[in-house]
Amino acid sequence: MKKLAFILSASGLLFAANNVFAAWQEIGQNEQSTVSVDTATLQVQGDKAQIMSMLDFKKPGEDSQTKEKVNSIIGLNEYDCTTGAYRPIEFKVFTGNRGKGKMIVDKKSPDSPFEAIPNGSWAAGVFNVACRSK
């Protein structure tokens, strides 16, 4: 789950308003989850792009530390549009679907290293949206 995230430099403000004002746009789904993005949060600077995304699980998972049910994750990742890599900046894990319910994890990792994006992953779909203008 540590890779399921991303956030802008104004992360606190973005996440505070996120669930209330986000205009989630579904970009894909599989048997496990639905992936959505909020294109209003897209920020591009040079070859890098940041955008908020949400994974909404069809069947709840379980947080390994708290043992609570996990139904959605909202986060901000930064994408390197040239190399096809990404890194998590911040993510939050919720007991309810679509970022509702109790927040059980609030993880910030602004200095995390870039990692390759696996083909067919949720991150690949978000990369396509974040870097499509590149």
**pLDDT at position 14:** 44
Alpha-carbon distances of 11 from 40, 57, 78, 82, 108, rounded to whole Å: 14, 23, 12, 24, 9
Distance, CA of 97 to CA of 55 (rounded, Å): 9
Q: List the structure tokens of 50.
A: 């940041």
pLDDT of residue 21: 61
Residue ranges in the chain whose pLDDT is less than 70: 1-21, 133-134
The CATH number given to 11-130 is 2.40.128.710
* Torsion-angle region of 46 (φ positive above 0: left; ψ -120 to 50: alpha; else: beta): left
Determine the pLDDT at residue 81: 97
- What's the pLDDT score for residue 19? 53
**6/75 Cα distance (integer angstroms):** 4
Angstrom distance (rounded) from CA 34 to CA 54: 8
- Residue 127: Cβ-neighbour burial (10 angstroms; 0-12, 13-18, 19+): buried
Give the per-residue pLDDT at 22: 78
